[in-house]
Amino acid sequence: MSEILVVDDEPGIRELMREILEEEGFEVRMAENGAAARAALDDRIPDLVLLDIWMPDVDGVTLLKEWKTQGRLTMPVVMMSGHGTVHTAVEATRLGAFDYLEKPVSYKHLLETVKKAMDSRRARPTTTGNLDLLGQGEATRRLAQRLNLAISAGLPLMLQTHPGAGEEIVVHYLTPPDAAFVRVDSPALLADRPADLLAQAKGGLIFVPDLSVLSNMQQKGLALLIARRGEFSARVAVACQQPLSRLLADSRLTQELHDQLIHAVIELPTLQSRREDIPALAARVLEDAFARLLIAPRKFSDAALQALATYDWPGNLAELEALAGRLALESDKGRGDAPIDAELIEAMLGIKADDGDSTGIDLMLHMPLKDARDAFEKAYLEALLGQCGWAMSKTAERAGLDRTNLYRKVKQLGIEAPGRDKDASAE
């Protein structure tokens, strides 16, 4: 059932709109002022907001501007006022309001506007599939809304991400169905041939996986690519694990590129921030791991799922998938179809079972961040290579890397195939 948030300081108007909208089959929440509207949005994102302009604590236009600045304008907003002006209506529309209603609002006009606003949500630009691989909770729903809003506005997307957070899933979702997907694994192409990249991605999407490694010349090429994307009907997505403000302060980001990307910064939620998704995600990636290895499947015990849900997942979804691969390989050791128990999970994750007051996570806090990241990448790639029979092409595809980058990482991290030369096992 679609939900509408009615924000108005007049109790009579709120109640009247609630009666009308509920009679039409909508779920209705109400807020009597700006503060209550903020709290309602924090609680969950509605499908539509009917927002009064004149309220005692904050006017609706200011609230609309605030939501837009915060990247929270992910639903249509219809402004309402009993004594508005043309200027106010134009300003609200410029800020992203879907429409403007003048009070008193007629029954017919209200329902017509609500229907158009709801239809606008269903008419969003096409994407490929959904984000279910990241989870199906509120955080993923909000992420999808923000992504769709940025797409509908034609903005280049800046994905603020975390290790293993699933940006590959996001960028493939953003790619229009049956359209080209161009991943820029060689940053030199941005400086040398940005127009060629646009031609390859015509009607599709270009993905730059790490903004922080680009030189000034490569950033200028990316800025040119973003400026000309409309000529090729191409979408552009850029990922980075560092905030734009930090890169700019460290003189590692040009002001021009900063200004192009700052309008659509979207943070990918960590697995730790959406623990409600972990049991279902864990069950799915485990099932996938068994299917890839053609091994009779096993499931998690309830205690194992609880252990997974309390772990903090510094490597996010990639770490969960790597764990599933290791568990599937362990299942070849005579355990039959018995559920995977919590003890095995705790052993593999380094959870301290005797520490009841903590999450029991060994985050290698004695190590510098770079060393800890390298240790995780090494464990992840060793497990993935093992699952793929040390076939580099298959492993590269699974890890979302090109084969050249995978070779480089394998060599850099000192990974060797057991009992044989790793270069001889390329295919």
Q: How far is 55 from 36, CA to CA, in rounded Å?
A: 11
> What is the pLDDT at residue 1?
74
Max mean pLDDT among 34-48, 336-350, 393-407 falls in 34-48
Mean pLDDT of 320-339: 78
Residues 307 and 318 in one domain: yes
72 or 273: whose pLDDT is higher? 273
Last residue of a domain, one of 207, 242, 267: 267
Residues 41 and 164 in one domain: no
Mean pLDDT of 160-165: 92
Q: Which tokens go with 184?
A: 């820029």
Q: How far is 406 from 384, CA to CA, in rounded Å?
A: 12
Per-residue pLDDT of 176-208, as tens digits, reads: 888 899 999 999 999 988 899 999 999 899 999
Residues 96 and 208 in one domain: no
75 in a structural domain: yes
Q: Which of 54-58, 73-77, 337-341, 362-366 has the lowest mean pLDDT?
A: 362-366
Residues 210 and 321 in one domain: no
Domain range for 373 is 364-427
Q: Map the chain to HEC letters.
A: CCEEEEECCCHHHHHHHHHHHHHCCCEEEEECCHHHHHHHHHHCCCCEEEEECCCCCCCHHHHHHHHHHCCCCCCCEEEEECCCCHHHHHHHHHCCCCEEEECCCCHHHHHHHHHHHHHHHHCCCCCCCCCHHHCCCHHHHHHHHHHHHHHHCCCCEEEECCCCCCHHHHHHHHCCCCCCEEECCCCHHHHHCHHHHHHHCCCCEEEECCHHHCCHHHHHHHHHHHHCHHHHCCEEEEEECCCHHHHHHCCCCCHHHHHHHHHHEEECCCCHHHHHHHHHHHHHHHHHHHHHHCCCCCCECHHHHHHHHHCCCCCHHHHHHHHHHHHHHHCCCCCCCCCECHHHHHHHHCCCCCCCCCCCCCCCCCCCHHHHHHHHHHHHHHHHHHHCCCCHHHHHHHHCCCHHHHHHHHHHHCCCCCCCCHHHHCC
Q: Is the pLDDT of residue 418 over 70?
A: no
Q: How far is 249 from 245, CA to CA, in rounded Å?
A: 6
Q: Which of 59-63, 302-306, 390-394 has the lowest mean pLDDT?
A: 390-394
Residues 164 and 69 in one domain: no
Residues 117 and 9 in one domain: yes
Mean pLDDT of 154-177: 92
Residues 240 and 214 in one domain: yes
Residues 286 and 323 in one domain: yes
| Contact between 330 and 344 (Cβ < 8 Å) | yes
Sheet holding 205-208, edge to edge: 181-183, 205-208, 235-240, 157-160, 265-267
Residues 47 and 147 in one domain: no
217 in a structural domain: yes
Q: How far is 374 from 380, CA to CA, in rounded Å?
A: 10
> What is the pLDDT at residue 126?
58
Q: How far is 82 from 54, CA to CA, in rounded Å?
A: 9
230 in a structural domain: yes
> What is the pLDDT at residue 347?
87
Q: Is the pLDDT of residue 359 over 70?
A: no
Domain count, the chain: 4
Residues 329 and 253 in one domain: no
Residues 144 and 169 in one domain: yes
Q: How far is 310 from 409, CA to CA, in rounded Å?
A: 31
Mean pLDDT for the chain overall: 84
Q: What is the CATH number of the domain that holds 286?
A: 1.10.8.60
* CA proximity to 323, closest of 359, 295, 284: 284
Residues 185 and 228 in one domain: yes
